[in-house]
Structure 1
Amino acid sequence: MRPRIQAVDDALIEQILSEARRILAEIGMEVRGPEMRRRLLEAGLPTAEDGRVLFPADVIDRALASAPRSFTLYNRDGAPQAEIGGDNVHFVPASSGLKILDHRTNETRLATTADFAEYARLADGLPHIAYLATAFSTNDDIEAQVSDAWRLYLCLTNSRKPVVSGAFTEHGVGRMVEMMSLFRHDRADLIARPMSIFTITATGMFRYSEDSCQNMLDCVEAGIPVEIVPVTLMGLIAPVSLVGAAVFHTVDTLAGIIMAQIVRPGAPVLFGGAPAEFHMRAATSPMLGIQALRLDVAYAAVGKALGLPTQAYMALSDSKFLDAQAGAETFGSALLAALAGINSVSGPGMLDYVLTFSLPKLVYDDDLCGQALHFVRHIAPLDDVPTIDLAREVMAEQHLITAAHTMSHWPTELHMPSPVTDRENRENWAKAGGRDLLQRATDEVERRLAAYEAPETDPLVVAEMQRIITAGMSAPAPLPDVPPVGTGLKAAPTNAPRRQRRFTR
Structure 2
Amino acid sequence: MACPRVTCLTPDEIENIHAASLWILERVGIRIFSTEARDILSKAGAKVEGETVYLPPKLVETQIKKAPAEFTLHARNPARSVRIGGDNFVLAPGYGAPFVSDLSRGRREGTIEDFINLVKIAQACSNLDLASGILTEPNDVPEEIRHVKMLEASLKYSDKCLMGSPYGKKKALDTIHMAEVVFGREFLESHTVLITLINTLPPLSLDGRMAEALIEHARHGQAVIIASMAQAGSTSPVTISGTLAQINAEILTGITLAQLVKEGAPVIYGCASHPVDMRNGAMAIGAPETALITISGAQMAKYYGLPCRSGGALTDSKIVDAQAAAESMHTLMATALSGVNFVLHAAGILETYLTMSYEKLVIDDELCGMVRRLRRGFAVDENGLALQAIAEAGPQGFYLDKMHTLHNFRQENWEPRLLNRENYSHWAEEGKDLAAIAFSRWQEILACFEPPGLGKDLERDLNAFIEKVEKG
TM-score (norm: length of structure 1): 0.89
**Contact 1:77/1:160 (<8 A) preserved:** yes
Distance 2:100 2:285 in 1: 19
1:243-280 CA distance string (max 9 Å, x none)? 11111111111111011001111000000032121111
Q: CA deviation at 1:31?
A: 1.4
Which 10-residue stretch deviates more, 169-178 or 296-305?
A: 169-178
1:422 to 420, 423, 429: 420
**Contact 1:72/1:82 (<8 A) preserved:** yes
Question: Judging changes above 3 Å, is the alpha-carbon distance between structure 1 residues 58 and 138 closer, same or farther for their aligned structure 2 residues?
Answer: same
Aligned to 1:72: 72
1:228-377 equivalences under 5 Å are 228-347=226-345, 348-377=347-376
1:34-69 CA distance string (max 9 Å, x none)? 11111111222223x565212212211221221000
1:395-406 equivalences under 5 Å are 395-396=394-395, 398-406=397-405
Distance 1:438 1:102 in 2: 9
Question: Judging changes above 3 Å, is the alpha-carbon distance between structure 1 residues 169 and 466 closer, same or farther for their aligned structure 2 residues?
Answer: farther
Query: Which portions of structure 1, spanning 4 or more consecutive aligned residues, are displaced by more than 4 angstroms?
Result: 384-388
Q: CA deviation at 1:169?
A: 4.2
Other structure's SS at 1:172 match: helix
Distance 1:319 1:25 in 2: 40
Q: CA deviation at 1:86?
A: 0.9
Q: CA deviation at 1:397?
A: 5.7
Instruction: Please tell me whether residue 448 in structure 1 is matched to residue 445 in structure 2.
Output: yes
Distance 1:92 1:53 in 2: 33
Q: CA deviation at 1:404?
A: 2.2
Distance 1:464 1:63 in 2: 38
Other structure's SS at 2:277 match: coil
**Contact 1:288/1:314 (<8 A) preserved:** no
1:395-423 CA distance string (max 9 Å, x none)? 356221122221111101110011x1111
Aligned to 2:43: 42
Distance 1:206 1:385 in 2: 51
Q: Which runs of 5+ in 1 are unaligned?
A: 476-505
Which 10-residue stretch deviates more, 389-398 or 200-209?
A: 389-398
Other structure's SS at 1:53 match: strand
Q: CA deviation at 1:168?
A: 2.9
Other structure's SS at 2:183 match: coil
Other structure's SS at 1:227 match: strand
Aligned to 2:63: 63
1:444-464 CA distance string (max 9 Å, x none)? 111122221111223343343
Residue identity matched to 1:455: P
Distance 2:455 2:397 in 1: 60
Q: Percent identity?
A: 26
Aligned to 1:434: 431
Aligned to 1:486: none
Q: CA deviation at 1:380?
A: 2.6
Residue identity matched to 1:90: V
Question: Judging changes above 3 Å, is the alpha-carbon distance between structure 1 residues 391 and 168 closer, same or farther for their aligned structure 2 residues?
Answer: same
Instruction: Please tell me whether residue 96 in structure 1 is matched to residue 103 in structure 2.
Output: no
Aligned to 2:455: 458
Other structure's SS at 2:252 match: helix
Instruction: Please tell me whether residue 2 in structure 1 is matched to residue 5 in structure 2.
Output: no
Instruction: Please tell me whether residue 407 in structure 1 is matched to residue 406 in structure 2.
Output: yes
Residue identity matched to 1:377: R
1:319-360 CA distance string (max 9 Å, x none)? 111111111111221111111111111111111111111111
Distance 1:413 1:382 in 2: 13
TM-score (norm: length of structure 2): 0.95
Q: Which runs of 5+ in 2 are unaligned?
A: none
- Pick the structure with more helix per residue: 2
1:139-288 equivalences under 5 Å are 139-140=139-140, 142-186=141-185, 188-288=186-286
**Aligned alpha-carbon RMSD (Å):** 1.8
Q: CA deviation at 1:182?
A: 1.1
1:122-160 CA distance string (max 9 Å, x none)? 1112110011232111011x2201211211111011100
